[in-house]
């Protein structure tokens, strides 16, 4: 079955991302790859969708610029703590932009409403940024 035929059967962002990931194994032209990523982007509705696509674009396609743009789109819509965490993780782990990640973690800590969220924020600071001082600050 051709990629185009399989693409028509994709009902969700995850299915389309799986198709793009599978296409990386097969010979694929870059124009079609970009078209598939555009279609994935059109299915993004929430910050977590954009963060998931950005992570794939940076790690799977090695396109840091496009990934940075997708993380920026996610950042424009941040509202809930898990969204802040996902974007901070992306900036830290995938783009190596520690200062930007720390800013989002600080915003997440301000929004956190319970111990589980605060611990999750501090965990990202400790693990992704390797910053025990920031993690401690965020816990307080």
Instruction: Find the mean pLDDT for residues 112-130.
Output: 95
**Residue 28 domain-assigned?**
yes
Residue 8 lies in a domain: yes
> CA 49 to CA 14: how far, in whole Å?
9
Provide the number of structural domains found in the chain. Answer: 1
φ/ψ of residue 5, rounded to 5: -70, -40
* Domain span at 34: 1-43
Cα–Cα distance measured from residue 98 to residue 130, given in angstroms and rounded to the nearest whole number: 10
Across the range 110-132, mean pLDDT stands at 95
Whether 74 maps to a domain, the answer reads no
| Residue 19 domain flag | yes
Residue 48: inside a domain: no
Residue 60 domain-assigned (yes or no): no
Structure tokens belonging to residue 127: 């693990």
More confident residue, 28 or 52: 52
Residue 127 belongs to a domain: no
Length of the chain: 140
Task: Please state the pTM of the whole predicted model.
Answer: 0.87
Whether residue 115 lies inside any domain: the answer is no
Q: What are the CA-CA distances from residue 11 to residues 6, 7, 57, 114, 128 (Å)?
A: 11, 9, 20, 35, 33
């Amino acid at each position: 079955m051709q990629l185009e035929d399989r693409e028509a059967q994709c009902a969700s962002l995850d299915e389309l991302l799986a198709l793009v990931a599978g296409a990386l194994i097969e010979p694929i032209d870059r124009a079609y790859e970009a078209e598939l990523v555009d279609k994935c982007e059109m299915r993004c509705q929430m910050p977590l969708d954009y963060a998931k696509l950005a992570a794939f674009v940076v790690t799977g396609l090695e396109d840091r610029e496009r990934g940075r743009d997708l993380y920026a789109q996610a950042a424009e819509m941040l509202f809930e703590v898990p969204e802040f965490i996902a974007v901070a993780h992306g900036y830290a782990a995938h783009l190596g932009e520690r200062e930007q990640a720390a800013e989002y973690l600080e915003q997440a800590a301000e929004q956190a409403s319970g111990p589980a969220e605060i611990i999750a924020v501090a965990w990202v600071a400790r693990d992704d940024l390797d910053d025990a001082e920031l993690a401690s600050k965020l816990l307080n």
